[in-house]
Amino acid sequence: MYFQPIPSQRFTYSQRQSQNKLKVFGEATILAEPNEAVVTLGVITENENLQEALATNSQTINNVIQAIRNSGIPQESFQTTDFHIDLNYDFQDGVQTFRGYRVTHLLTIRISNIEKVGEIVDIAVDNGANTVRNVQLSLANPQQHYNEALTLAIINAQEKAAAVADTLGVSIHTIPTSVKEISTIPPDQPRPFVLGVSSENISSTPIEAGQLEIVARVEADFHYQK
């Protein structure tokens, strides 16, 4: 005699097993000292004559580049990130009056030695740079640090699952059935800085490196038995 199980009972066991699932979130944060910096600075020149503005700006930015290169920063560490020409106008009593031209040339400079950042800013300012837009501190190898945080996040998820299982009085498999990464390496965050002026009393612009936070988060599923 052939027995055909009732459809509603066919998957009773598997359904019961699938219900014995615990989902937890693991998180870990590690601190790392930045070992690389990207500085954005440049020269803004204003003049009633466009050719003169261009010539002055070009000469000044070349002076800045050469001075920084002389301090030991290689040519491949420089990149022009912005160059534009704007018209300057004055507005008075609703009347627009042409005042001249503004030429802006911005460079990004990658510096592998954090301790030289303040020195580089001062050198640039001493040689004609009149705008410093950003000092961004980062890690040369962020993936390595993130992987460490990711490992700790998974361990954190296992510890949470074990704590829940102990509270409920059930037995849990410590190896998760699935792990979902819910974080990524964040983009470098700009750090505030203080722009000083070189003098006999100040050795260089103070740049505080501090520490960067690398955070990893995971979602993990565990099976348990009553």
pLDDT at res. 191: 45
- Is the pLDDT reported for residue 39 higher than 90? yes
Residue from 136, 113, 121 nearest 187 by CA:
136
Beta strands in the chain (DSSP E): 21-32, 36-47, 78-92, 95-111, 131-138, 171-172, 178-181, 190-191, 212-225
Phi, psi of 144 (to 5 degrees): -60, -45
Burial of 60 (0-12, 13-18, 19+ CB in 10 A): buried
The confidence band for 134, taking pLDDT boundaries of 50, 70 and 90, is confident
Question: What are the backbone dihedrals phi and psi of residue 178, each rounded to the nearest 5 degrees, phi first?
Answer: -155, 150
User: Can you tell me the distance from the alpha carbon of 82 to that of 97, in angstroms, rounded to the nearest whole number?
Assistant: 27
d(CA 219, CA 52): 61
Spatial CA neighbour of 181 closest among 27, 11, 52: 27
Q: How far is CA 193 from CA 5, 24, 40, 122, in A?
A: 73, 40, 12, 13
* Partner residues linked to 134 by β-bridges: 40
pLDDT of residue 141: 86
Residue ranges of E strands in 33-94:
36-47, 78-92
Chain position carrying tokens 């700009």: 190
> What digits encode the pLDDT tens for the residues 57-98?
999 999 999 999 999 999 999 999 999 999 998 888 888 888
As a whole number, the mean pLDDT across the chain is 84
All structural domains of the chain, each given as residue ranges with its CATH number in brackets, are: 36-139 (3.30.70.2970)
How many other CB atoms sit within 10 Å of the CB of residue 120? 25
Q: What does the pLDDT read at residue 197?
A: 38
Is pLDDT at 135 greater than 70 in this prediction? Answer: yes
pLDDT attached to residue 110? 94
Asked which of 9-18, 44-53, 168-177, 178-187 is least confident by mean pLDDT, the reply is 9-18
